[in-house]
């Protein structure tokens, strides 16, 4: 069973994988492992592919990951960023102050605008290099986070609070809905392009929508409908193809986990702040789960034997809920020892039916 087949069997309803798939979130970690400066990595799709392939040769994980930074879509709307040789891009002043200023904007072209073409090139290079042997997880920023980047996070959140408390006009609420609708269509078009190019996992990351940032009520009113729209459209597009949707939101989101399942997403990435046993009890196989080894205290700061213990515990709890992939709770940190990541992969591959 190839890594790609294993991953697909782990994701589909009724799948029977012969071992646990390993998919640590090794986005920009691959740049460090391959000795590629981050400033070059996030601006060159071929280097992203090269870093992922080098890491896979040394680690043996089942899933390759194109995701590395967060602003590549927002740049298509005019967000300016500072690029750094040995750090991820940082945003400058947001390009807009009011959602109404964006009413004239259209959906950008994922093949031409911002740095979306970089990530499409990475996917194209990876698919050509690995064929059907390895699974590929694409990238995509969720609509709530995109809107916040373009208005500035503080400004966006305060405007949302004013709308919720009825301190803003009906026009403000309509403009905010229109903005999130535009962001939804933008995310969808970019992820659809990746589906056409053969991505196995159609990823949406929307961490500013986590309960570390907003309330469950705000999530249900201003996030869940747009996520459902994206995942419904992607399922209609992919049909019976072996392609699966995925959501990542950092933090502890137990209060909205059922709501996340109700979006129709296939795979939920669980942060290390959440308990996998509780997650499994809620999800009950209706979606697959990936996670959730602590990327700091376990993977970076722990010893290989500590990683192994944490991983066996996670596998037992995760499989209790049904479909499960062993992964990290979020991005693997720079400076993480490869031996610790090998302990994770060895644990996953050591479980057999």
* Cα angle, residue 22 at apex, residues 20 and 24 outer, rounded to 5°: 150
Q: Which two tokens stand for residue 256?
A: 């909205």
Write out the chain's pLDDT in tens, 353 residues: 899 999 999 999 888 899 999 999 999 999 999 999 999 999 999 999 999 999 999 999 999 999 999 999 999 999 999 999 999 999 999 999 999 999 899 999 999 999 999 999 999 999 999 999 999 999 999 999 999 999 999 999 999 999 999 888 889 999 999 999 999 999 999 999 999 999 999 999 999 999 999 999 999 999 999 999 999 999 999 998 999 999 999 999 999 999 999 999 999 999 999 999 999 999 999 999 999 999 999 999 999 999 999 999 999 999 988 899 999 999 999 999 999 999 999 999 998 76
In CATH, the number for domain 3-350 is: 3.20.20.210
DSSP label of 141: B
Virtual CA dihedral for 105, 247, 86, 51, nearest 10 degrees?
A: -110
Q: Which two tokens stand for residue 193?
A: 């392009």
Integer Cα distance of 102 and 104 in angstroms: 5
| Burial track 77-106 (b if 16+ CB lie within 10 A, e otherwise) | bebebeeeeeebbebeebbbeebeebeeee
Q: Indicate the domain borders of the chain.
A: 3-350
Contact at 8 Å (CB) between 64 and 124? no
SS3 91: strand
Residue 10 CA from chain centroid, whole number:
18
Contact at 8 Å (CB) between 202 and 246? yes
Integer Cα distance of 140 and 73 in angstroms: 8
Distances (CA, A) of 308 to 27, 286, 313, 347: 22, 27, 9, 6
Residue 265 has a pLDDT of 98
Phi, psi of 245 (to 5 degrees): -85, 155
Q: Which residues pair with 233 in a beta bridge?
A: none
Residue 1 has a pLDDT of 87
Integer Cα distance of 257 and 268 in angstroms: 9
Q: How many CB atoms lie within 10 A of CB 207?
A: 18
* Whether the predicted model's global pTM rises above the 0.85 cut: yes
H or E element: which one contains 327?
strand 324-328
Residue 353 has a pLDDT of 62
């Amino acid at each position: 069973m190839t890594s790609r087949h294993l991953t697909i069997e782990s994701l589909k309803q009724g799948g029977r994988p012969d071992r646990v798939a390993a998919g640590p979130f090794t986005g920009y970690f691959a740049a460090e492992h391959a000795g590629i400066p981050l400033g070059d990595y996030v601006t060159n799709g071929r280097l992203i592919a090269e870093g992922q392939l080098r890491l896979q040769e040394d680690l043996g994980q089942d899933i390759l990951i194109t995701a590395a930074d967060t602003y590549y879509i927002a740049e298509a709307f005019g967000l300016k960023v500072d690029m750094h040789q040995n750090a991820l891009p940082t945003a400058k002043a947001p390009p807009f102050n009011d959602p109404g200023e964006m009413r004239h904007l259209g959906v950008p072209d994922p093949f031409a605008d911002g740095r979306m073409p970089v990530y499409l090139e990475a996917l194209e290079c990876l698919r050509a290099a690995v064929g059907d042997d390895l699974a590929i997880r694409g990238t995509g920023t969720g609509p709530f986070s995109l809107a916040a980047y373009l208005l500035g996070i503080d400004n966006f959140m305060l405007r949302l609070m004013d709308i919720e408390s009825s301190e803003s006009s009906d026009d403000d609420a309509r403009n905010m809905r229109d903005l999130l609708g535009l962001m939804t269509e933008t995310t969808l078009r970019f992820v659809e392009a990746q589906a056409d190019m053969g991505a196995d996992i159609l990823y949406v990351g929307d961490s500013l929508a986590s309960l570390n940032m907003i309330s469950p009520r705000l999530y249900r009113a201003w996030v869940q409908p747009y996520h459902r729209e994206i995942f419904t459209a992607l399922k209609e597009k992919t049909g019976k193809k072996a392609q699966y949707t995925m959501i990542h939101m950092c933090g502890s989101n137990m209060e909205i986990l059922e709501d996340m399942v109700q979006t129709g997403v296939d795979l939920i990435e669980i942060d290390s702040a959440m308990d996998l046993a509780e997650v499994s009890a809620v999800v009950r196989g209706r979606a697959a789960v990936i996670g959730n080894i602590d990327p700091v205290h376990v993977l970076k700061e722990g010893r290989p034997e500590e990683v192994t213990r944490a991983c066996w515990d996670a596998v037992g709890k995760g499989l209790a809920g049904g479909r499960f992939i062993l992964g990290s709770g979020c991005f693997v940190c720079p400076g993480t020892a490869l031996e610790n990541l090998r302990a994770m992969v060895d644990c996953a591959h050591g479980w057999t039916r």
